[in-house]
Structure 1
């Protein structure tokens, strides 16, 4: 684990905030210092230019220049004769050595811009900002010492650094406090998560911010997990019970055969129980796969629904009750897993045959943007209040199902699962409303092609 990862989230957020603040203030402070330097330099240039203009005006007026030349600021003025000698100076200015060498004067005249020089050739110290003007063969040198400006910038830098340091400390402390207050609900959620047991849930922070929504989402996730665990426990318990019944029957039959000898019906009874175990394990395996989307891959192909239903209903020829199929007037097609749809429709027909009195009918019709498959029987039907419950796993109704009729309690749940995977729906209603035996009608709707 790297060093930053070992820090707490609060520390990392504060460090990021301080670094961001330092970068922002550093860039802003650097820009501010540069602006101050340029502003002071422009002020010095303006002062030197004004002084040079004043001296130029005196020379142009044909009045004799006073000696010393009066100036109203700290500027140093030297007026050079055409031969390069110093004619007039301001108070305190050097009368022997000009502030610029001849080559520097020539460069300044050519550029028409003030130049900055280090006063190492005269009695002055520090840097000078020199403005050069020529008039009537005379050269006017006006130098402004930059020492005061440099001191001002230096003190400004010190004050800026002190201010930045104070702001970083104060804002760092404030950020530490604010981040801690913001993360307090997260810490409460963490402690609550450690203490969650069974039906307990995480505490909901006040307000409606992201932390509150996170807590609501986590509680919703815990509800789903609890529901999934409850379903898993019920499924395992029901599966164990369903598996135990045929095993108990087989054990009893074998124990009786061991004591009194095999009966003529022993093999038939054992095969019946084995078939029931096979159907139950197949159904359990299918439902287990349907609960794992990563393991379930629906093979999609174009299916002629009429041909599929014809093949399915032909399997029931010669059965306990006839199964009649009425096809649509024109071919109807769907995209899907043909094995899954055969299993779903087959389960509905098996259920209808198991409870029908005299007949089962299967019909196919177009319905909006899809197709509708109807499976009807003339049995006792299912009460309206129980029609949703029969789609729950291992559900049996006392007046409609029994283990003796071969049901596993998984047929209709498998139908809903398989049809749902095809983005379809299945509904139950009376086949003959108002009749003494209303029967049952199962309608399967699938999206068409």
Structure 2
């Protein structure tokens, strides 16, 4: 069960069915209550109409024995002010709900059934229970409604009774009780309830079935994406892509995003593979050279090239440091949050280098401060200066300036420059544009890659343009502290 409910399709179907079930129960309850209220109101109206017809006969002086009490076989009682039954339906056998259980009228003391009409009735009349003051021949406006039951000619039913006060011409205060059957109300409510009890489960089954089909169709592309992702995981083939449905909905956007993620992952993995391969290749050369020199020295100590061995060791150490720094940058290492004066750092890195000059733009007599790692930013400037000196004919110029809230360091040389087509490629790892240059002269091709990665980690950029003197102009832009 828990596994089934773990399915989005099952949860959606169950949720939709529950919502519809609650709505149906609420709507069915409202319909039943409204139907019952309307039918009870209609029964009350019919009972009041019957009671007023009898009250009208009493008001005009009709004797009790001549009252129309057996119309439509409905229970009717006429009760005097003392609660005595003076008239009732002929076949009435039992009654409840009117407050008077008697079903047989009491004999009239005068025998005429209309009471005493001696002219003193106005003085002897009392107010009826409804609180209305009635004159002889008057009928009360207010009607009291109650529910009960009655047995007429052996048939027992539930009734709604209406009580209407009236005063006959003799001045007697009377109350007429007339009932209307509730069988129609009971039948209609029971029929509606039966229809609901049968129809609602069928409707819920249809809703659940349709929801199951619709969600299954909607989630079918998701199943395809899952299968393809499982296949990619099993095969480790990042060149594969998940199918993108033609629905242009959230699932299609999910598939597109997944494919972009796979493309980025493939590019990253391929970049790491190239990095490992290039690093292995770059490390192999100084290690092989150093091993050869040590083996020769072991066999012939007099042939030991100590300077070459030291040079290979230093080169190997620098390459290892570069690889370690790149690994830390790839791991997302956050730079230190120290304040670094770029102008002072540029002068420090340029010190002792021949042909390198540092110039501060107008208005930058003081500090040009940024937040970051002094060591890593110094490494950026050192790599840029190494690259510029390697390609310059005679001079390298470093300029430091502010550009709004941005600190800018520019390193320009008077060499041949960088072709426009290669101005992004030179920042890739292990890239050397001059393939004929030896590794000893040109390095491993990691300096500019490290410089750009450090700049990006500090929230800045590193780009290359054409220098005014025709060479390369590397521009480092960092947010000011």
Note the C-alpha offset of 1:109. Answer: 4.8
**Corresponding residue number in structure 1 for 2:105:** none
Residue 100 of structure 1: aligned partner: 98
- Answering whether residue 117 of structure 2 is matched by residue 85 of structure 1, we say no
Residues 44 and 160 of structure 2 are in contact (CA less than 8 Å); yes or no, is this contact kept in structure 1? yes
For residues 145 and 108 of structure 1, the distance between their equivalents in structure 2, rounded to whole angstroms, comes to 25
Map residues 11-410 of structure 1 onto 2, 5 A cutoff: 11-64=10-63, 67-70=66-69, 73=72, 75-90=74-89, 92-94=91-93, 100-101=98-99, 109=130, 113-117=144-148, 125-136=156-167, 137-196=173-232, 197=235, 198=237, 199-263=239-303, 266-293=305-332, 296-314=333-351, 317=352, 319=353, 321-328=354-361, 329-330=363-364, 331=366, 332-398=368-434, 402-405=438-441, 407-410=443-446
3-state DSSP of counterpart to 1:116: strand
CA 327–60 in structure 1, closer or farther in 2 if over 3 Å, else same = same
Report the 3-state secondary structure (helix = DSSP H, G, I; strand = E; otherwise coil) of the residue aligned with 2:459.
coil
Larger Rg: 2
Deviation at 1:377, TM superposition (A): 2.3
Shift of 1:6: 5.7
Residues in 1 aligned to 2:378 and 2:408: alpha-carbon distance in whole angstroms: 15
- Structure 1 residue matching 2:148: 3-state secondary structure: strand
Contact 1:428 1:441 in 2 (8 A): yes
Inter-CA distance 79–131: structure 2 relative to 1 (3 Å threshold): same
Structure 1: distance between partners of 2:82 and 2:301: 149
Cα drift, residue 405 of structure 1: 2.1
Residues 232-266 of structure 1 deviation map (CA, whole Å, 9 limit, x = unaligned): 110100010011111011011112222322446x3
1 or 2 for the larger relative contact order (CA 8 Å, sep ≥6)? 2
Give unmatched runs, 5+ long, in structure 1: none
In 2, the alpha carbon distance for the partners of 1:160 and 1:27 equals 12
TM-score for the superposition, normalised by structure 2: 0.82
Equivalent position SS for 2:92? coil
- Between the aligned partners of 1:335 and 1:97, the Cα distance in structure 2 is 99
Residues 7, 358 of structure 1: alpha-carbon distance in 2 compared, 3 angstrom cutoff: closer
CA displacement at 1:312 relative to structure 2 = 2.4
For the 8 Å contact 1:68–1:91, the answer to whether it is kept is no
SS at 1:423's partner residue? coil
In 1, Cα distance between equivalents of 2:73 and 2:340: 101
In 2, Cα distance between equivalents of 1:325 and 1:261: 47
Q: Aligned-pair distance for 1:145? A: 2.9
- Displacement of 1:227 in angstroms is 0.9
Of residues 387-396 and 302-311 in structure 1, the stretch that sits farther from structure 2 once superposed is: 302-311
Q: Displacement, 1:102? A: 5.1
Cα deviation digits, residues 105-147 of structure 1 (max 9, x gap): xx98589642223559997635332222222211111222323
Offset of residue 97 of structure 1: 6.5
Secondary structure of the 2:156 match is: coil
Report the CA distance between 1:98 and its aligned residue.
7.1
Is the partner of 1:125 in helix, strand or coil?
A: strand
Alpha-carbon distance in 2 for matches of 1:279, 1:242: 11
Question: Does the 8 A contact of 1:369 with 1:447 survive in 2?
Answer: yes
- What secondary structure, in the 3-state scheme, does the structure 2 residue paired with 1:80 have? strand
The 8 Å contact of residues 64 and 86 in structure 2, kept in 1 or not, is answered as: no
8 Å contact kept, 1:80–1:138: yes
Cα distance in 1 between the residues matched to 2:78 and 2:288: 128
Q: Give me the TM-score of the superposition, normalised by structure 1.
A: 0.87
Q: Compute the displacement of 1:50 (Å).
A: 2.2
Rounded to whole Å, the distance in 2 between the matches of 1:305 and 1:58 is 115
